[in-house]
């Protein structure tokens, strides 16, 4: 109590001091104005402007001081409306207020839990007759006497935005012609229909259309002949994509559709992604869609769903106890989305109704019965043959409405193909119509036509509920598609770099425009290329969006296409950096009139360079002198953070000060390694501790200084039997010798101690402060692929390991082990032949010092048919269960099943996985997507890279041999669980608050920018938009400037504010206590949370910000700013920033 009172006094004192200094400034400001003679209005004005600037600056300093105080002090308990509760006020025995207890979802009578389905199914793959993977479907013939069978045939063309050809080449060779013909062929007959999914292609085509053709498109849309389905930029991968990117590509597509077509998609269409995630279902529902179609689901699961008539269901989020997240989902029952596998169970028959395969064409039916053109002579026989398939298929569903897709990859290119399909089918439909005794109506339709017809006869409420996900996909036999979770890991990592850059840029750009408007009476600063920057930002969005395509981030495209994607990723990052650098420039200037944009000579430059699409980023060397060099560090997270910022300099001695306060920053000089045991003599790494308020830009000065001003790291080397030669002039380096050489290597900070093998340097044990030692061993292993001439082998999609399983990674010579110790961090690096592995501990207060950082530099270019994995072996009694994330949005329980082959037990991991028992949870957080498994209790393994010499027969036609030096980054967190109950069954679990914060820091590192050293620099001041951190369970997903509806390509004042309220685990109390608060209630006071930023014209909207989804502004919302943000949910608001 006493302590609290003291703190209150202290805060009060600071506040009074701040007010007094403000008052002094105001007085000083007033004096010269009185002296100013008349007629000097301009001078006065500029002087006044300077004064206001000084005032603003003082105010921002005070804000910063208060922010730091607020964040480091404890808030009073039970803070009324915001409901902020505080870590210290909470005793470890109670659950954290607002946390989510692990919960076992108990299925009702008509509820399917996929984990239970997996437990139940034998996965024995018996032959099923003509429907190989299914069963014989029978019918009586009188089922449709009461209600006739209603067939809706939905023409589609699956256009991959890059796969065997690049996006542009597909567009010119195929897509353009498909869309051109669509205009003609749909216009010929109003009964014809078509659906289209990929807005990346559609928008490119639109650019080439004249007004008349654009009007035709709109007419076809209005008449219901053409329907935009999903409306995403691409048909996104659902395993590797982060939910930020999944949502962003959906926003990009939907915004384009709104602006140019004025329609709103209502149905999702995902026929080719290799497995399906409920996160995607959540986003589609949030974007206002009511229905969706999925296709690539494990054949045994399809068969089970078909048997139970649950192929149509309400897909519910595992964590949702309400039906709010439900979306109606149709799962296609058969092997593929092509015509042979969509009209009914028998592909030999269905193929005869793909009229693109008529004899004489380029494609044919592999079942050796060709289609026949429909004539008066054969129409009856043909119609009855087709009807038989329709009827059989219909028996798998609960309603007499039947959905039948008609299409394939890049179909409907030539006008003759349109004629063949539409004319022949129309004849069949006409026949049905003239024969009512058949009790069938058939027509062309869109997805909406189908779902509307379905809902007429079967209310949504009567559909079963399904919880869970559809990984890992197998299309036949033991061919599990778990290879693509890791294929081309270099680009999976680059994808996330672009994602972090995009988010950071979006937020800073939006804040810049808002600051300019408030500075300039509603106008943007002259000279600031707001419009050009918006175009660069849009290009960055589209670069990330395109890469979410299910052949891009998956690593399943041909080599030249991969390079094309790589170039697009790189260019996107470079474009975004321009916007970021220029926005930061304006925000930092004390005197805004000094802003000057020079494309060729930017004021700030991001401190690393990516020289090529396949090169790792390199830090630029900063030349130091006695004159300070200016470094800007941007914190893109909404949390105050202590980060170690690293730059490369030309001197072994340097000093860093906070330019604002003059305070020297704790620093460390480390070696830059030219070789594992040879330090560079002209480049050095300067690490310094930066204290970064949320979303801030902080200015540092770096100078060359006298020797010893920053402590240098000390190094010890070890290589059993063969001590390495060490080269260094500037660092203390030694060999481990004598008895010391056989002892475990150990590192520790305030929270954690680790022990590593003296032989390999790899971690063996870990102990939390006051805890007991736990086994946490790091191993590396190889997988090979199957041997034998006629056997399927691993490739870009498939993981088909040899029977011997994982092989120990062994090396002929003992590896070089390097231990570095410094005041900011210490680490152990093992230089193995194919991987350089580092475990690092930061000597930091707060949560940043709580986890271990693990980094790998992998190079397997010398290998043949091998995959490298990192396995973490612990003594956590996790049984056959572990949890991995889905798109970084939610955690999903996984069960390792011995009845399944090894490759089936690998799952996608976008950013997190954990193992737990009643006492302990061990969480691995990652900065990139990869495959993960827990093949034995207590073990977690992560696939690092794969090199495969052959195609795996899924159409790609090549292996994966374009490996590069690839880096991967992780944080490992051991947490003790308090009152951690073991929930049985399909329990839903959440990351801890600490894990959420660690993941946020890992995914959104601070961005360092450097100002030129050779010119006189204007005065800068830090930019501090927020008074304090957001609650630590509230993630600012985006502040995305929307396009001006009146002016294409220009930014509007409207911004999409996207907030994600995270659900967090109850059993892991954050240790050490967190600096941020969190909310126990669903109501959040937006004004308090974002102060001093103010949001006006606030309206809740759908997740893709379609005007159609805007809620009317409620008076209550305007007055109180209290918003309901439910845990786990993403909320979107249309706002203007003040
Ligand atoms: Zn595809």
CA of 549 to the centre of ligand 1 (A): 8
Residue in the block written with tokens 């139970």: 308
Q: Which of 107, 9, 22 shows the shortest CA–CA distance to 60?
A: 22
Question: Is pLDDT at 372 greater than 70 in this prediction?
Answer: yes
The sign one gets for the Cα dihedral 203, 205, 206, 208 is positive
Cα–Cα dist 22/10, whole Å: 18
Q: What is the mean pLDDT of the chain?
A: 91
CA of 474 to the centre of ligand 1 (A): 16
Question: Is pLDDT at 98 greater than 80 in this prediction?
Answer: no
Of the chain, the percentage scoring pLDDT greater than 70 comes to 90
CA of 791 to the centre of ligand 1 (A): 25
Whole-number pLDDT of residue 63? 47
Cα–Cα dist 54/24, whole Å: 12
Whole-number pLDDT of residue 100? 79
Range with the lowest mean pLDDT among 15-19, 372-376, 758-762? 15-19
Q: How many CB atoms lie within 10 A of CB 145?
A: 10
CA of 612 to the centre of ligand 1 (A): 27
CA of 419 to the centre of ligand 1 (A): 24
Q: How confident is the model at residue 673 (pLDDT cuts 50, 70, 90)?
A: very high
* 1014 assigned to active site: no
Whole-number pLDDT of residue 72? 43
Question: Is pLDDT at 897 greater than 70 in this prediction?
Answer: yes
CA of 160 to the centre of ligand 1 (A): 5
Element holding 1135 (H helix, E strand):
strand 1130-1137
Which residues have C-beta within 8 Å of that of residue 645, sequence separation ≥ 6? 631, 633, 687, 688, 689, 690, 1006, 1008
Question: Is pLDDT at 295 greater than 50 in this prediction?
Answer: yes
Which residues have C-beta within 8 Å of that of residue 647, sequence separation ≥ 6? 607, 619, 622, 631, 685, 686, 702, 1008, 1010
Q: How confident is the model at residue 83 (pLDDT cuts 50, 70, 90)?
A: very low
Residue in the block written with tokens 């030249």: 560
Question: Is pLDDT at 525 greater than 60 in this prediction?
Answer: yes
pLDDT 10s digits, 970-1015 = 999 999 988 666 667 888 999 999 999 999 999 999 999 999 887 7
Cα–Cα dist 233/542, whole Å: 8
Whole-number pLDDT of residue 453? 98
Whole-number pLDDT of residue 708? 81
Whole-number pLDDT of residue 1070? 73
Q: How confident is the model at residue 1080 (pLDDT cuts 50, 70, 90)?
A: confident
CA of 338 to the centre of ligand 1 (A): 12
Cα–Cα dist 1065/987, whole Å: 12
pLDDT 10s digits, 472-509 = 999 999 999 999 999 999 999 999 999 999 999 999 99
CA of 239 to the centre of ligand 1 (A): 14
CA of 518 to the centre of ligand 1 (A): 47
Whole-number pLDDT of residue 891? 98
Q: How confident is the model at residue 23 (pLDDT cuts 50, 70, 90)?
A: very low
Q: How many CB atoms lie within 10 A of CB 955?
A: 12
The sign one gets for the Cα dihedral 844, 848, 850, 856 is negative
Burial, 31: exposed, middle or buried (Cβ in 10 Å; 0-12, 13-18, 19+)?
exposed
Cβ proximity of 696 and 635 under 8 Å: yes
pLDDT 10s digits, 604-639 = 999 999 999 999 999 999 999 999 999 999 999 999
Whole-number pLDDT of residue 36? 39
Q: How confident is the model at residue 69 (pLDDT cuts 50, 70, 90)?
A: very low
- The residues with which 891 forms a beta bridge, in sequence order, are 885
Whole-number pLDDT of residue 32? 34
Cβ proximity of 72 and 1075 under 8 Å: yes
The pTM of the whole model exceeds 0.75: yes
Whole-number pLDDT of residue 1083? 87
Question: Is pLDDT at 70 greater than 70 in this prediction?
Answer: no
Residues with a beta carbon under 5 angstroms from ion ligand 1:
160, 272
Q: How confident is the model at residue 42 (pLDDT cuts 50, 70, 90)?
A: low
Q: How confident is the model at residue 131 (pLDDT cuts 50, 70, 90)?
A: very high
**81 against 512, higher pLDDT:** 512
Whole-number pLDDT of residue 89? 37
Q: How confident is the model at residue 106 (pLDDT cuts 50, 70, 90)?
A: low
Cβ proximity of 270 and 292 under 8 Å: yes
Kindly list the distances between the CA atom of residue 704 and the CA atoms of 156, 294, 626, 947, 1020, in Å, as whole numbers in the listed order. Answer: 65, 60, 5, 45, 21
Average of per-residue pLDDT across 865-870: 98
Q: How confident is the model at residue 291 (pLDDT cuts 50, 70, 90)?
A: very high
Of the chain, the percentage scoring pLDDT greater than 90 comes to 81
Whole-number pLDDT of residue 1105? 97
Whole-number pLDDT of residue 48? 58
Q: Residue 193 corresponds to which tokens in the numbers above?
A: 């229909």
Q: How confident is the model at residue 64 (pLDDT cuts 50, 70, 90)?
A: very low
Average of per-residue pLDDT across 372-393: 98
Of 248, 272, 607, 945, which is the active-site residue?
272
Q: Which of 534, 533, 514, 516 shows the shortest CA–CA distance to 525?
A: 516
CA of 297 to the centre of ligand 1 (A): 15
Element holding 608 (H helix, E strand):
strand 608-609
CA of 502 to the centre of ligand 1 (A): 26
Whole-number pLDDT of residue 44? 58
Whole-number pLDDT of residue 504? 98
Helix axes 379-394, 415-433, angle to 10 degrees: 80
Range with the lowest mean pLDDT among 215-224, 365-374, 1062-1071, 1100-1109? 1062-1071
Whole-number pLDDT of residue 96? 73
Q: How confident is the model at residue 1069 (pLDDT cuts 50, 70, 90)?
A: confident
CA of 68 to the centre of ligand 1 (A): 50
Question: Is pLDDT at 169 greater than 60 in this prediction?
Answer: yes
Q: Which of 713, 839, 698, 701 shows the shortest CA–CA distance to 765?
A: 839
Question: Is pLDDT at 179 greater than 60 in this prediction?
Answer: yes
pLDDT 10s digits, 788-840 = 888 999 999 999 999 999 999 998 889 999 999 999 999 999 999 999 999 99
Whole-number pLDDT of residue 770? 79
Question: Is pLDDT at 1075 greater than 50 in this prediction?
Answer: yes
Question: Is pLDDT at 31 greater than 50 in this prediction?
Answer: no
Whole-number pLDDT of residue 1116? 53
Residue in the block written with tokens 């870990």: 766
The sign one gets for the Cα dihedral 97, 101, 107, 113 is positive
1038 phi, psi to nearest 5 deg: -165, 155
Q: How confident is the model at residue 1117 (pLDDT cuts 50, 70, 90)?
A: low
**Residue spans of beta strands (DSSP E) within 899-1003:** 907-909, 912-916, 920-926, 930-933, 939-947, 966-976, 987-988
Average of per-residue pLDDT across 144-158: 97
Q: Residue 160 corresponds to which tokens in the numbers above?
A: 């991959």
Question: Is pLDDT at 296 greater than 50 in this prediction?
Answer: yes
Question: Is pLDDT at 786 greater than 60 in this prediction?
Answer: yes
């Amino acid at each position: 109590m006493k302590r609290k009172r003291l703190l209150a006094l202290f805060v009060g004192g600071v506040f009074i001091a701040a007010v007094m200094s403000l008052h002094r400034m105001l007085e000083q400001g007033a004096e010269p104005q009185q002296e100013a003679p008349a007629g000097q209005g301009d001078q006065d004005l500029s002087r006044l402007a300077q004064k206001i600037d000084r005032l603003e600056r003082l105010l921002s300093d005070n804000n910063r001081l208060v922010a730091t105080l607020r964040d480091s002090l404890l808030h009073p308990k039970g803070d009324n409306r915001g409901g902020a509760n505080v870590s210290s006020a909470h005793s470890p025995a109670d659950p954290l207020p607002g946390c989510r207890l692990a919960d076992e979802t108990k299925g009702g009578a008509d509820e399917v839990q996929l984990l239970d389905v997996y437990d139940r199914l034998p996965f024995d793959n018996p032959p099923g007759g003509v429907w190989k993977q299914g069963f014989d479907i029978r019918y009586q013939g009188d089922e449709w006497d009461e209600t006739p069978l209603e067939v809706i045939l939905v023409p589609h063309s699956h256009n991959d935005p890059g796969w065997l050809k690049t996006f542009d080449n597909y567009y010119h060779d195929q897509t353009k012609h498909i869309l051109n013909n669509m205009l003609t062929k749909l216009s010929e007959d109003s009964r014809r229909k078509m659906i289209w999914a990929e807005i990346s292609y559609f928008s490119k085509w639109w650019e080439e259309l004249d007004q008349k053709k654009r009007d035709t498109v709109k007419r076809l849309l209005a008449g219901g002949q053409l329907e935009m389905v999903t409306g995403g930029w691409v048909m996104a991968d659902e395993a590797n994509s982060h939910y930020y990117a999944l949502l962003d590509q959906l926003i990009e597509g939907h915004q384009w559709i709104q602006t140019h077509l004025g329609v709103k998609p209502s149905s999702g269409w995902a026929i080719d992604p290799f497995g399906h995630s409920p996160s995607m279902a959540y986003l589609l529902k949030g974007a206002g869609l009511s229905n969706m179609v999925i296709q690539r689901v494990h054949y045994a699961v399809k068969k089970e769903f078909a048997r139970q008539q649950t192929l149509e269901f309400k897909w519910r989020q595992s964590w949702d106890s309400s039906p709010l997240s439900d979306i109606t989902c149709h799962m296609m029952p058969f092997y593929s989305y092509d015509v042979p596998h969509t009209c009914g169970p028998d592909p030999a028959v269905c193929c005869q109704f793909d009229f693109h395969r008529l004899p004489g064409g380029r494609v044919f039916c592999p079942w050796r019965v060709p289609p026949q053109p429909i004539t008066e002579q054969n129409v009856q026989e043909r119609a009855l043959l087709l009807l038989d398939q329709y009827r059989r298929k219909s028996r798998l569903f609960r309603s007499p409405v039947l959905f039948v897709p008609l299409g394939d990859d890049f179909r409907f290119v030539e006008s003759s193909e349109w004629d063949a399909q539409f004319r022949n089918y129309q004849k069949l439909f006409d026949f049905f119509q003239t024969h009512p005794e058949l009790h069938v109506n058939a027509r062309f339709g869109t997805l909406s036509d189908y779902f509307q017809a379905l809902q007429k006869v079967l209310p949504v409420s009567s559909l079963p509920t399904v919880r869970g996900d559809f990984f890992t996909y197998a299309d036949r036999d033991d061919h599990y598609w778990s290879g693509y979770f890791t294929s081309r890991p270099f680009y999976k990592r680059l994808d996330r770099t672009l994602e972090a850059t995009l988010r950071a840029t979006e937020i800073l750009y939006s804040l810049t425009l808002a600051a300019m408007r408030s500075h300039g009476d509603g106008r943007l600063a002259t000279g600031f290329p707001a419009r050009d920057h918006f175009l660069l930002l849009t290009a960055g969005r589209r670069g990330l969006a395109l890469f979410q395509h299910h052949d891009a981030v998956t690593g399943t495209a041909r080599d030249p296409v991969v390079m094309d994607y790589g170039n697009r990723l790189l260019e996107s990052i470079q474009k975004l950096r321009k916007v970021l650098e220029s926005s930061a420039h304006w925000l930092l200037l004390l005197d805004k009139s000094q802003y000057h944009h020079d494309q060729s000579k930017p004021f700030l430059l991001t401190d690393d360079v990516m020289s090529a699409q396949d090169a790792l980023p390199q830090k630029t060397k900063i030349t130091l002198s006695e004159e300070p060099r200016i470094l800007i560090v941007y914190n893109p997270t909404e949390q105050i953070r202590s980060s170690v910022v690293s730059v490369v300099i030309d001197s072994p001695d340097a000093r860093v000060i906070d330019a604002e306060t003059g305070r020297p920053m704790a620093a460390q000089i480390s070696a830059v390694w030219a070789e594992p045991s040879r330090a560079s003599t002209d480049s050095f790494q300067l690490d310094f501790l930066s204290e970064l308020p949320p979303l801030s830009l902080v200015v540092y000065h770096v100078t060359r200084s006298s020797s010893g001003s920053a402590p240098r790291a000390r190094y010890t080397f070890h290589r059993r039997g063969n001590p390495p030669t060490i080269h260094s002039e500037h660092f203390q380096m030694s060999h481990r010798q004598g008895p010391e050489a056989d002892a475990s290597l150990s590192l520790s900070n305030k929270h954690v101690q680790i022990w590593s093998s003296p032989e390999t340097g790899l971690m063996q044990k870990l102990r939390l402060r006051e805890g007991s030692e736990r086994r946490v061993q790091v191993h590396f292993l190889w997988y090979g692929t199957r041997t034998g001439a006629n056997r399927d082998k691993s490739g870009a999609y498939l993981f088909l390991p040899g029977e011997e399983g994982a092989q120990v990674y062994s090396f002929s010579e003992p590896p070089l082990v390097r231990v570095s110790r410094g005041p900011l961090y210490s680490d152990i690096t093992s230089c193995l032949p194919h991987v350089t592995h580092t475990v690092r501990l930061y000597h930091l207060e707060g949560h940043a010092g709580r986890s271990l950082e693990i980094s790998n530099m992998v190079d397997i270019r010398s290998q043949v048919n091998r995959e490298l994995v990192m396995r973490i072996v612990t003594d956590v009694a996790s049984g056959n269960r572990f949890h991995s994330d889905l798109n970084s949005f939610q955690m999903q329980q996984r069960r390792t099943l011995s009845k399944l082959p090894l490759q089936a037990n690998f799952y996608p991991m976008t950013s997190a996985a954990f193992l737990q028992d009643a006492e302990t949870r061990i969480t691995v957080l990652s900065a990139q997507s990869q495959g993960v498994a827990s093949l034995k209790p207590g073990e977690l393994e992560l696939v690092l890279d794969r090199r495969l010499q052959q195609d795996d027969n899924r159409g790609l036609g090549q292996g994966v041999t374009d490996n590069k030096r690839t880096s991967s980054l992780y944080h490992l967190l051991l947490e003790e669980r308090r009152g951690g109950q073991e929930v049985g069954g399909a329990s839903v679990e959440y990351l801890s608050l600490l894990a959420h914060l660690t993941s946020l820091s890992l995914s959104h590192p601070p961005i360092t920018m450097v100002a030129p050293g050779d010119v006189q620099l204007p005065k800068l001041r830090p930019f501090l938009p927020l008074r304090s951190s957001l609650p630590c369970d509230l993630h600012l997903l985006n502040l995305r400037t929307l396009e001006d509806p009146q002016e294409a390509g220009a930014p509007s004042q409207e911004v999409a504010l996207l907030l994600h309220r995270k659900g967090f685990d109850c059993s892991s109390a954050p240790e050490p206590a967190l600096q941020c608060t969190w909310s126990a209630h669903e109501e959040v006071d937006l004004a308090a949370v974002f102060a001093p930023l103010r949001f006006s014209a606030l309206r809740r909207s759908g997740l893709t910000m379609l005007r159609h989804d805007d809620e009317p502004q409620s008076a209550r919302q305007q007055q109180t700013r209290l918003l309901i943000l439910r845990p786990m949910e993403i909320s979107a608001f249309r706002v203007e920033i003040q």
